[in-house]
Amino acid sequence: MKLTIVASGDFFSDYGGGQVYVRNLVDELVRRRLACENTGNTDNCNTIEVSVISYVKNTNPTARDYKGISIYQVNDEESFRNALQQIRPDIVHANGEKLTTARLCKELGIPCVVTAHHGGLVCPAGTLLNTDDEICRSPADYSHCLKCYLRNTPTGLFWYPLLKQYSQERYSKIGQRLERLPNIPFLSPIGRTGLIVSRKLAEWKELSETATHFIAPSDAMAEALRRNGCPEGKITVIPHGIPDKNITIKNQSSREGNTSHISHLTSHIINFYYVGRINYVKGIHILLKAFSSIENPNIKLHLIGGAGTKAEQRYMDRLKNKYHKDSRIIWHGKVPYDQMQNTIKAFNCLVHPTICLEIFGLDIAEALIQNKYVIATRCGGAEMQIHNEKEGLLVEPNNINELKNAIIHYSNTPTSTNSKVLSIKQHTEQLLELYKTTLKKLHIAPKQV
């Protein structure tokens, strides 16, 4: 079988869960090949030939080698098409540039499987978070989505009462006219909103019809796909897996009796931590407000992550300035993914305060493999991994008091957990079975490689 994986952005970046996921998947496929070759069982060593397409704008198309796998870096639709024609894969697994990938695959007669890594697949505003800061559980349509999109545009909500009076067709025509003009601050973003929302809704409709199959990492994302018109038969739930080397860390910790946890209990310091993007929808402001209201000098909060956009940077700067007097709050910045497991070994409890729909939550899985307790919001992906009061505590998104009480509860009765986590090896086996089933349904015989 010839498999091509389309990366989420730059394959060599580790910013964001989608990028980390693709690297983990490719590394596992490489490991499988090397393990097979080392056994001398050459009959089965080359049954899967893997390549990666990495879509990065403003760069020259190139081909690079990564652990024996070809990485094709493309920068537009033409170079993307050329790469697919050169590779001639049996099946494509899209993790980024999903609509472009599905279109090209349909044109070239290649099955395309899409992983729904984030809510932006079905939500024009990108996060499945409504204007009341609640997880959106309504089907996407123009009337629902316009206000949410305007919320993310400077002065957008101020103009919403007027703009909602315009029909979708009329507002879109205004946007089309503004597209032909040079950018006008404030006016252009506001005026183009109706057109952008209309386009994004149309793009999802096209993707849902064009893609061969969808992978949802959680039941919550599967429900969002169904709610927005994706046929049940085109959805398979496959939770993300964790690299086996991380599970080895868990086993070592278990044999050592989780000594790092005991040492912190001895010193009377409980270390809570957050891992991820410093972004509004991740609920960092809720976490800091809850934590700072607890008068306990023997707890600390470690924030691991950084800003990837100007808006995220402004958000992080505001939070740093607001809570700079609380010495218990420690900002670590970005930590390379390959150093993450050793970094979090020193901490006791993960706090996952997301307020939007979380598709899975790799940070939760990475905490659980080290037997760490997790406090998380009921954000979708958390419920797939945590049974309340067993592996951790589940609280409602945006509920400062519930989050505060959960932190206090753990501070008073710290504990660890022993939970099972899906390995990347098991995850990859499920993916390979899905690829084979998809080809079989389409009566496509995989190429011999």
- What domains appear along the chain, each with residue ranges and CATH number? 2-122+202-241+424-441 (3.40.50.2000), 142-200 (no CATH), 244-412 (3.40.50.2000)
User: Hey, which bits of 310-442 come out as E strands?
Assistant: 329-333, 349-352, 373-377, 392-395
Distances in Å between the Cα of 176 and the Cα atoms of 144, 153, 200, 328 are 21, 18, 15, 51
| DSSP-H helix ranges across 8-155 | 17-38, 77-87, 98-108, 142-151
CB 379 within 8 A of CB 358: yes
In a 13 Å sphere around the CA of 358, the CA atoms on its Cβ side amount to 30
pLDDT value of position 307: 93
CB 12 within 8 A of CB 55: no
Q: Compute how many other C-beta atoms are within 10 angstroms of the C-beta atom of residue 234.
A: 16
Question: In the chain, count of helices (H) and strands (E)?
Answer: 16, 14
pLDDT value of position 44: 54
pLDDT tens per residue, range 342-363: 899 989 999 999 999 999 999 9
pLDDT value of position 250: 46
Residue identified by tokens 């690829």 is 435
pLDDT value of position 261: 39
Which residues of the chain fall below pLDDT 70?
Answer: 15-16, 40-46, 244-267, 448-449
In a 13 Å sphere around the CA of 403, the CA atoms on its Cβ side amount to 26
DSSP structure class, residue 46? T
What are 123-129's contacts with CB under 8 Å, separation 24+? 123/148, 124/148, 124/149, 124/196, 124/197, 124/200, 124/201, 125/149, 125/151, 125/152, 127/281, 127/356, 127/357, 128/224, 128/356, 128/357, 129/281, 129/355, 129/356, 129/357
DSSP structure class, residue 324? T
Residue identified by tokens 């954000």 is 379
SS3 assignment, position 373: strand
| Phi/psi of residue 207, nearest 5 degrees | -65, -45
Q: Compute how many other C-beta atoms are within 10 angstroms of the C-beta atom of residue 316.
A: 20
Alpha-carbon distance of 88 to 104, in angstroms, equals 12
Adjacency order of strands within the sheet including 62-66: 62-66, 69-74, 49-55, 2-6, 91-94, 112-115, 213-216, 235-237
pLDDT value of position 340: 86
Of the candidates 346, 353, 344, 316, the one whose C-alpha atom is nearest the C-alpha of residue 331 is: 316
DSSP structure class, residue 446? P
Measured in whole angstroms, the distance separating CA 113 from the mean position of its chain's CA atoms is 17
pTM score, whole prediction: 0.90
Structure tokens at 26: 């490719």
- H/E stretch holding 194: helix 187-210
Strand pairing report for 69-74 and 62-66 = antiparallel
Alpha-carbon distance of 218 to 236, in angstroms, equals 9
